[in-house]
Structure 1
Amino acid sequence: MSDSNLENTQPSRPAEDLEKTRVSKTRPESPDLEATQPVLATPSESSPPVVEMQLSFTEPDTTPPLRSGRPRRWPWVLGGLVLILLCGALGGFLGYRAALNLRSQVSSEEVARVATEQFMLALQEQTAGKYDLALKRYEYVISLDPNFPGVQEKLTEVMMAIALAQTPTVTLPVATSTLTPTPDTRAEEEIFNNARQLLANKEWFKTIEVLDALRNKNIAYRTVEVDGMYYVALRFRGLAKINAGALEEGLYDLALVERFASPLDVDAEGVRTWARLYIAGASYWGARWDQVIRYFSQIYPYYPAMRDATGMTAIERYRVALIKYGDQLASAGKYCEAYEQYEASYQVGPDSALDPTATAVFTLCHPATATPQPTIPLTPTPTVETVVPTVETPTPTLETPTEAPSPTP
């Protein structure tokens, strides 16, 4: 009898493999193979039953294991993490830029607020006659915002007020036994008041003439106030001379201003710089056109109407220098560079007299490419010879009868 527990421990095989195994065992074996097999004794009836164990040997299963149907999720998880990091970085960058813009805006608003506050306080102090404090506040406003509306005009007014109203420090003379009579300064006072009135009327030339007369009469009379009046009058007279074309004289007046107070204000310093550039550029006129262009290209965008004693403005000198330099380059065979100078002069101002020269230089810079014409072989004309046929005209021959004709009956 068979043991049920033993059967449960045996590996179960598919039915198809089992059938194949049974078929293989029923095949006839070769005689040689049977001779080599041991002969088993046949069990007797009295002997106990022997459990038959059929061992089956099958080929190894090489079929790859089936993959589970669960999808791979790790690429999606990794992509999500990368996307989150990118979104975080982008958000941080945008937030940083927004913070910088907000900070710049707040800083600009703060500067404007402080400048406005200081300007209003300076106006109050100027009205109250506190010119020194007002002057410091106006200078502080200019340091914050040089383009603050009205601050330059108010600064000039305060400087004029200080020059007119500042009281000099009186030095008391040491008492001596010798009594000196009090000098009569009524003439100096009259001259001083006249100069103050001229300064208020912005008559700079006459103001300086009167101040010179006062100094020649009494150099020690109200020195500080006279110096302040000199400062204002010389500054505005120097600018007026530069605007009128007297560049050297205007520069000299501005140099005298620095003897009374230094440095010059921003506007006067800018005009002085352009005047110096004008004089330097004009010194190369007719000799180095490239240097003339270099100097006047810095002047004409900001002060195009500046002129010298010749009356030639800065923008006109710049335009003429471009044309002359273009002519110089064209004569040297540099046609493309010459045309660039002509184009720059056209941008400054039109010039119909330059059109033929510019057109010719442009043609030389961009010569027309010659298009090769196809060569057509000439077909020889056949000569036809006309053959005139010669026709011989036969000459008729008349035969003279020898016999006389007989009359007809």
Structure 2
Amino acid sequence: MQRHPGRADLSPVTGTGAELAALRARVAELEAERSALAALVDDRGEELAVAARMLRARAATMTGVVDAITEQSVVGTDSDGVVRVWNPGAERLLGLPRADVVRRHRVTDFHDPAELAGRGLAALVATAAERGSDVRDWTYVAADGTRRTVSVAVTPRADDGGPGGWTFVGTDVTGVREAERLKDQFVALVSHELRTPLSSVLGYLELVLDDPALGADTRRYLDVVARNAARLERLVGDLLFTAQVEAGRFPLVPGEADLGTLVHAAEESARVTAAAAGVTLAARVPAGGPVVPGDAVRLGQALDNLVSNAVKFTPRGGRVDLTVVAAPDEVRVSVADTGVGVPAAEQAGLGTRFTRGSNVRRSVPGAGLGLAITRAIATAHGGRLELVSTEGRGTTATLVLPR
């Protein structure tokens, strides 16, 4: 009888008892394999069902979290910038409901075209693509044409190991930036209006103090007036300087600065004050410099600020040490004191304008501008200001400058 491959043989089974036994055993094996495969399919099906439920729950949780954010806009896009996520914060800020935006708009549709400079999405994400994240101010344009200044944090999102898109978290800072601008304008205006009469006061005081006929008491009184007028003039200068820094008009005169000379000058300037306060002042400077590129006047101002701060906040019997350490690529100038230090919770704000430690606000005069100015000078030279402080044990301020 002709047999056809792949077709079940329905003819009666014939053969020896051994062959029949072997066939029955094979059938039993196949049946067992079928049952095992069926059980495995059932198990995998249950696992897939559980995984699907978990993914749905996770997605619902993430959606709930994003939707609960109402003070920040959260916009998620695909790799081309098409909006896929649009939370209530984005609805409130930009004036469009989710249904009108998702899959219908690109994130660039809500940006000031002038800021994008024709680069489209690349203008928003280039830095985040290179560094992993980016935070900066952008101008958002709402549906009604309203323009808002928004601090936007951009991060890339990966799907299955590949580029999936971008997440934009925006905080409306329009009021904050406007307040900062008005404050800087006010500071600059007041400083300018104060500087003119102060110059006249100091000029005439100098003329009066040159009069040999002045009595001892009168001269002493006028010396007090002159010292305080000079102090006020320095404060006005600091206010003008910080306003220039904030406005991006920080003036530098390029050249070379001998840090050894500047450190000794700062030490000499503070020596009389330190002696009167009972504070020991010492400097350790390597021979022959070192010399760094920069504005010698501004760097001298930064060192004067650090040394005068250290002396001012160090009680009688304390010590202030100035140390210069030169490396091939940078120079570190440290001013270490044994003063009152700064509370740990307040150290993050050091170097911010008008910020002073709560433990010295009433006991030590000052406006909280010295460190802010010093940090700005360091940054302008491509360096940095490092601050380490322990309350009750002292502070070390280190000016780090590239060579």
TM-score category, normalised to shorter length:
under 0.3
The higher-RCO structure (CA 8 Å, 6+ apart) is 2
TM-score (ref. length: structure 2): 0.25
**Larger helix proportion of the pair:** 1
**Larger strand proportion of the pair:** 2
TM-score (ref. length: structure 1): 0.25
Higher Cα Rg, which structure: 1
